[in-house]
Amino acid sequence: MFKNTGFMAASTAVRLLSSLVLFIALARIFGPADFGRLFYNFTLASVFLLPLEYGFGPQLLREIGRAPGEAPRIMGRVWVAKLVLSLVVVALALGYFAVLPARRPDALLFSLLLASCMLGSFGDFFLTAFRGIGKFHKETRIALGSSLLHFALVCALALRGASLETIGAGFVASRLLGLLWSWLGYRRELGVLALQGLGWRSALLTLRDGWAYAVDFGFTSFIQQVDTLIVHYFLGPAAVGVYQAGMRFLQGAMQFAPVLGNVYLPALAGQLDRPAELARLSRKLNLKMLGLGVAGWVGFALLGGPVAGLLYGSRYDQLMPLWPYIGLLMLLRYLAASQGVLLTAFGAQRVRVWAQMVSLALLAGSAPLLIGRYALTGMLMSLSLAALVLLAMYGAALRGQRAPTGFSAVSLVLTCGVLGAAFFILRI
């Protein structure tokens, strides 16, 4: 377990080149306004990508973890479904510009970023198989090469003064090469996809069977993206640039949640008939998530300002008061993530869906009010409130099913103490 966690962490760390480090560099090069425009379109592309993702990652890990010998067949079934969903994404994008002609000046930039996201989704699809069969080291090698290529190409273009549209073309080129690399690695390890007898009907059946995963993933991802759309609507692109310059650090720090989820989910799913071992794994998962959340809360509160000042300069001074709130949000999201992994292991996706719906409704209702009063700080307050409610609902659902939450008496007291201290310091 420790070895697999290490490889998965290494794989995630190299991916940070294309999420954290790259966007930090672009924020410094372009400044708040242009970086805000780039990131708004990137976020919008990520939202349009949600149907293609469909929550296949956790579903594949759970199914392959329970039947590794069926991996080629499982992967083939999902591949056909993703091809169908890619047509849906293209249709949605065309409809978007038909309905909102005012957005057409950004059509090229958005389309390039959407294409790069779609290529990246198919590349990650092949890498998921390595996690499912426990070959984490093979995924790490491919992820390292792809991330280095993406980072080097896009940074080189930005440093040469390329336009935002040219940056988008660089995204497409690097993601295409990454997809080819992932596909070749998959073929060497598992052979060709088992596509015999698969078609439209099998795709629809796959989508039906994975609906709960799709809705859960969609709500989770949309909640993580919608803040950018809200900030852009109420405060404009320059505010998006400042806000996302800080949230890039949070996004990078949160990468260890899926690392632990990807490692522990197949293991938990394989121990459902062994309560003692299941409880032990749950406690280990929860303790690691808690430790990462506390480290992020303290780190952002103490070091966020100095580090941001060094990296971004004076153009991002409005970011400085946000760091303690970013730290609190990270703590709450890590705590909720541990409970979410346990619910997925027990197949309780519908519970997660309802909890996500409540959380999203709360976010939609509170964000306009809090932004109007506290500007960017209000956005972080609203996100933290939604994460706290999500944590409470996940925990209550596990208790209701008599499933382990991973909390021991000590870790529960520690969690309550840390949250109490955070709320007291921020005067919330």
Q: Is the Cβ–Cβ distance between 339 and 205 less than 8 Å?
A: no
Q: Is the Cβ–Cβ distance between 399 and 405 less than 8 Å?
A: yes
Cβ-proximal residues to 122 (8 Å cutoff; 6+ apart), any chain:
82, 179, 182
Cβ-proximal residues to 356 (8 Å cutoff; 6+ apart), any chain:
215, 216, 219, 220, 223, 390
Q: How far apart are CA 190 and CA 383, in angstroms?
A: 41
The alpha-carbon radius of gyration of the chain (Å, integer) is 21
Q: Is the Cβ–Cβ distance between 306 and 225 less than 8 Å?
A: no
Q: How many CB atoms lie within 10 A of CB 43?
A: 21
Q: How far apart are CA 337 and CA 254, in angstroms?
A: 10
Structure tokens at 301: 């509160």
CA distances from 426 to 324, 325, 419 (A): 8, 8, 11
Quick one: pLDDT band at residue 372, thresholds 50, 70, 90? very high
pLDDT at 7 exceeding the cut of 80: no
pLDDT at 378 exceeding the cut of 90: yes
CA distances from 47 to 9, 42, 114, 226, 419 (A): 26, 9, 9, 8, 31
φ, ψ (nearest 5 deg) of residue 173: -60, -45
Structure tokens at 187: 């073929």
Reduced to 3 states (helix: H, G, I; strand: E, B; else coil), residue 33 is: helix
Nearest CA to 58 out of 131, 120, 6 is that of 131
φ, ψ (nearest 5 deg) of residue 285: -60, -45
Quick one: pLDDT band at residue 363, thresholds 50, 70, 90? very high
Cβ-proximal residues to 59 (8 Å cutoff; 6+ apart), any chain:
78, 210, 213
- Residue identified by tokens 């938990």 is 268
Give alpha helix (H) positions in 67-163.
71-99, 107-132, 136-159
Weakest-pLDDT range from 12-21, 150-159, 261-270, 419-428:
12-21
pLDDT at 48 exceeding the cut of 80: yes
Q: What pTM did the predictor assign?
A: 0.81
Taking all residues of the chain, what is their mean pLDDT, rounded to a whole number? 89
pLDDT of residue 383: 96
pLDDT of residue 353: 82
Q: How far apart are CA 223 and CA 227, in angstroms?
A: 7
Q: How far apart are CA 328 and CA 423, in angstroms?
A: 8
Structure tokens at 215: 């809705």
Torsion sign, CA atoms 208, 214, 216, 219: negative
When pLDDT is averaged across residues 314-342 and rounded to a whole number, the result is 94
Q: Is the Cβ–Cβ distance between 423 and 388 less than 8 Å?
A: no
When pLDDT is averaged across residues 274-288 and rounded to a whole number, the result is 87
Residue of 423 and 318 predicted with greater confidence:
318
pLDDT at 246 exceeding the cut of 80: yes
pLDDT at 169 exceeding the cut of 90: yes
Look at the chain and count its residues.
428
pLDDT at 208 exceeding the cut of 60: yes
CA distances from 280 to 283, 349, 409 (A): 5, 22, 14
The single-letter DSSP state of residue 426 is T
CA distances from 50 to 47, 82, 96, 204 (A): 6, 11, 15, 17
CA distances from 29 to 154, 157, 312, 378 (A): 12, 11, 9, 27
pLDDT of residue 292: 95
Q: How far apart are CA 174 and CA 292, in angstroms?
A: 31
pLDDT at 89 exceeding the cut of 90: yes
Q: How far apart are CA 340 and CA 338, in angstroms?
A: 5
